[in-house]
Structure 1
Amino acid sequence: MGSESEEGRRARTRGLSCDFPQDGEMSGSSPFKMRFVHLDLKGAPPKVSYLSEIFPLFRALGASGLLIEYEDTFPYEGPLRLLRAPHAYSPSEVTEVLRLAAAHELEVVPLVQTFGHMEFVLKHEALAHLREVALFPNTLNPHEAESLALVGAMVDQVLELHPGARWLHIGCDEVYYLGEGEASRQWLQQEQNTTATLCLSHMRAVASHVRARHPATTPLVWDDMLRDIPEDQLSASGVPQLVEPVLWDYGADLDVQGKALLMEKYRQCGFPRLWAASAFKGATGPSQALPPVEHHLRNNLQWLQVAAQGRKDTLQGIILTGWQRYDHFSVLCELLPVGIPSLAVCLQSLLHGGFTEDVRARVQHLLGISSLEIAGVLSDILALVVQVSLHLRSSVDEMLQTDSLLGRWSGLAQELAAALHRVFPEDTVEEWLQENVHPSLGQLQALLQDLEAASPPPPPAGPGPGPDAGQGP
């Protein structure tokens, strides 16, 4: 047999067939005009070479855009340079990612956290004074003028590298401890001041900055901080004229009727357009290694039901989130290559309005596999992660007495490390192995050493030649 071609290796790495359909077929049965794939880069940012391989697949599966959450992988400059992670993309790499996306008709929406989930900013000593609560780096103090200047500068740098962006996601989800800082406590003592007012005020200030400095760009916000605010307060805040909320729910049993009612509430408050957000990975456990595809499929199918109940054209589109960490300090969850089959199932179901046998067959064709069962997926990363996740710990527990086990798992770990290095930077690979592989291998190694130390020494060799006497080297 001849050696494997480079294109064949690449296809096997990403778990895809070598030949993508390029017709970009879009179905009229989908209630979502736009389907954006979320790339969460605050953990395991893929190499640009890998993105160049999967963007054609995203398009073929029915994606129309990307929501890119850079966090500390964006190449901030000047005083913001301290926010860069060691593996941050360079400006030229960001430009190349945008070029690749455009080449495959994928519109890019950048995401910049501006209120909650600010750990990657507020963990730095130079910016710690801008925390809402001194002990916790997750929430920005909305009372400080410097806070708005900081996020404004972040927004400006990101949009400078994304000319023509129609939307910018400014986050604003899970603003924990809001109102618990000293400045907030004093502010809340004044009559009619509430945490809802405080939240809306900061959201309005950030969105106004975006609109003033970048008038062609519309801010998006996650909707969880808005859900419980009364309609009259939301309507009077001015926020509905500035942002488009993204209603997110990643559950397999979300309240369809409740979501439809929430959509109507937002419409009544004056929000002209809304978005939905489902998940294809990263939403079922902070250390999950393999995405439960059935859970994510059910989640996306229920969003189809929500869209069917709402007013036509209220929902601009849907964002399929793929979280890589639950927050900046959390461990890695499912890696992007491992989530590709789940993404494929969810995207195609959204595109065609359900998951039929025809859709299943189309997914299998697009992925170049004969079955959607785990064993049928060809990606070496996925296959190796499956083995590690399902069998490493249990086999170590059951078979600690055999040194051949250590050799087998060490070899597989080396193979997995090599596959991961083709997609991710060194520190991402090391982090994943430290979390998922090294503890079990270390346990096995230590036990084998203990067993070896406890074993009686071999009997002394008798006189005379050994078994290899007379043989050459």
Structure 2
Amino acid sequence: MSVSSPFKMRLVHLDLKGAPPKVSYLAEVFPLFRALGANGLLIEYEDMFPYNGHLRLLRAKHAYSPSEIREILHLATLSELEVIPLVQTFGHMEFVLKHDALAHLREVALFPNTLSPHEAESLALVRTMIGQVMELHPGARWLHIGCDEVYYLGEGEASRQWLRQGQNNKAKLCLSHVKAVASHVLAQHPTTTPLVWDDMLRAIPEDQLSASGVPQLVEPVLWDYGADLDIHGKALLMEKYRECGFSRLWAASAFKGATGASQALTPIEHHLRNHMQWLQVAGGGPADMLQGIILTGWQRYDHFSVLCELLPVGIPSLAICLQSLLRGGFAEDVKARVEDFLGISSLEITDFASEEAASFPGSDILALVTQVSLQLRSSVDALLERDSLLARWSTLEQELQAALQRVFYPDAVEEWLEENVHPSLQRLRGLLQDLSEAAGPQPLLASPCPDTGQEP
């Protein structure tokens, strides 16, 4: 395979905090990921990890078992996909801090998203989570410790008191926690390098960032999912990080889940443009600093948000983006290769996917979700038909439910249908009921209508 990509590592992000796929489906798609050009996975387990002991309460209803985690890693190895686990350790801690038993570790009592960096128990909690994850990922070369979007940092009472002392500021508060977590990872797992999302680091002055010691401990992941990202600005940011002492950087794009919290269909053109611009960033930044790129595929914007595009729905976008990264750009030959991989005769790039048949794993879900998204609401609103319309959509609902159940656990299936299908069908059933009641009971022997002789 001729590879001209500036990204040595190309990781597909699996966001399991919403609609986590069954292991059987991962077995189907991992070989496809590899064939398309991926050589790694960033697995954000969140509540799908089988935490045990006093952390058992963090498990979701259908959390993977330890044996399923080992099976996932085995499947990844078979497809030559290196796995990097992700453990949130600062921000986006909703799945942990929502529990009453751990609510006292919140930075701000009302909000479960941010961990207080002042409590000794906070660091102990994070260490335990990391320890359990690493126990099932022996030999992992990297561990992503999150640390993005640490909302309300510095707004808790303990932080307010700390900030009033000496030269303390929010940047120092952030860096001290990142350093503590990263130092623990390296002390316990010397061959594992911590990764962090970079948004909390971007605005920190160079001298403060350099003096913190953090650049010697972690590799930042520069993320931007926009279709019009600032290419020059990214190059300058990479140079700033180099000057501060970071030896390696990562990029993070998005193949789905970044264009709307309740987005159901993936706008491929947006994500393709995002990747084309990351290729330009890689070409204009400091040489040899970029370790790789993570193609994020968010499933929820946060633990309490609704589902956005399901993984099978985003696979055509992932295919286009991976192949474009691998080939160093997008052209008709790239599109043709993707169509061949996906078993589709003509892939729509500039508009949402058509209902055309495809053969990749989960393509039936994409076709059915496309019908729901593009036709269900409009057809119900227009009420083009009555009982036959309900029968049509009820049948499609059953087909979609069956397709989803093959890939996802029951709660994710129910949530997606409740969000995207049931409201419209309930409106339709209610309307038909109203129409039936308005028509009133029909007599057993109706009189012929005047003139026509037809039944009313």
Q: In the alignment, is residue 305 of structure 1 matched against residue 280 of structure 2?
A: yes
Q: In the alignment, is residue 177 of structure 1 matched against residue 152 of structure 2?
A: yes
Cα deviation, residue 29, structure 1: 1.2
Cα deviation, residue 93, structure 1: 0.2
Q: How big is each residue's C-alpha offset from its partner over 1:302-336, in whole Å with a ceiling of 9 and x where there is no partner?
A: 00000000122110000000000000000000000
Identity of aligned residues (%): 79
Q: In the alignment, is residue 139 of structure 1 matched against residue 139 of structure 2?
A: no
Residue 316 (structure 2) aligns with = 341
Q: How big is each residue's C-alpha offset from its partner over 1:154-185, in whole Å with a ceiling of 9 and x where there is no partner?
A: 00100000011000000000000000000000
Question: Cα gap change, 1:377/1:242 in structure 2, threshold over 3 Å: closer, same or farther?
Answer: farther
Residue 51 (structure 2) aligns with = 76
Q: How big is each residue's C-alpha offset from its partner over 1:398-441, in whole Å with a ceiling of 9 and x where there is no partner?
A: 01761211111011001000000000000000000000000000
Distance in 1, Cα, partners of 2:446 & 2:346: 61
Question: Cα gap change, 1:435/1:388 in structure 2, threshold over 3 Å: closer, same or farther?
Answer: same
Q: Secondary structure at the match of 1:178?
A: coil
Q: In the alignment, is residue 105 of structure 1 matched against residue 80 of structure 2?
A: yes
Q: In the alignment, is residue 448 of structure 1 matched against residue 448 of structure 2?
A: no
Distance in 2, Cα, partners of 1:70 & 1:462: 65
Distance in 1, Cα, partners of 2:438 & 2:383: 18
Q: How big is each residue's C-alpha offset from its partner over 1:326-384, in whole Å with a ceiling of 9 and x where there is no partner?
A: 00000000000000000000000000000011111111111121111223352110000
Distance in 1, Cα, partners of 2:5 & 2:436: 63
Q: In the alignment, is residue 422 of structure 1 matched against residue 422 of structure 2?
A: no
Q: In the alignment, is residue 402 of structure 1 matched against residue 386 of structure 2?
A: yes
- Within a 5 Å distance, the mapping from 1:363-382 to structure 2 comes to 363-373=338-348, 374-375=353-354, 376-378=356-358, 379-382=363-366
- Within a 5 Å distance, the mapping from 1:90-239 to structure 2 comes to 90-239=65-214
For structure 1, the residue ranges without an aligned partner over 5 or more in a row are 1-24, 464-473
Aligned residue type for 2:413: V
Distance in 1, Cα, partners of 2:264 & 2:343: 23
Higher RCO by CA contacts (8 Å cutoff, separation 6 or greater): 1
Residue 4 (structure 2) aligns with = 29
Q: Secondary structure at the match of 1:139?
A: strand
Aligned residue type for 1:289: A
Aligned residue type for 2:266: P
Q: Which runs of 4+ in 1 moved over 3 A?
A: none
RMSD, aligned α-carbons:
1.1
Q: 2:289 aligns with which of 293, 314, 321?
A: 314
Aligned residue type for 1:410: S
Q: Secondary structure at the match of 1:331?
A: coil
Distance in 2, Cα, partners of 1:92 & 1:110: 16
Distance in 2, Cα, partners of 1:80 & 1:384: 38
Q: Secondary structure at the match of 1:29?
A: coil
Residue 261 (structure 2) aligns with = 286
Distance in 2, Cα, partners of 1:106 & 1:41: 17
* Higher alpha-carbon deviation: 454-463 or 378-387: 454-463
Distance in 1, Cα, partners of 2:384 & 2:101: 49
Residue 452 (structure 2) aligns with = none
Aligned residue type for 1:103: L
Cα deviation, residue 281, structure 1: 0.1
TM-score normalised over the length of structure 2: 0.95
Cα deviation, residue 461, structure 1: 2.6
Number of aligned residue pairs: give it.
Answer: 438
Contact 1:166 1:216 in 2 (8 A): yes
Contact 1:400 1:447 in 2 (8 A): no
- Within a 5 Å distance, the mapping from 1:432-447 to structure 2 comes to 432-447=416-431
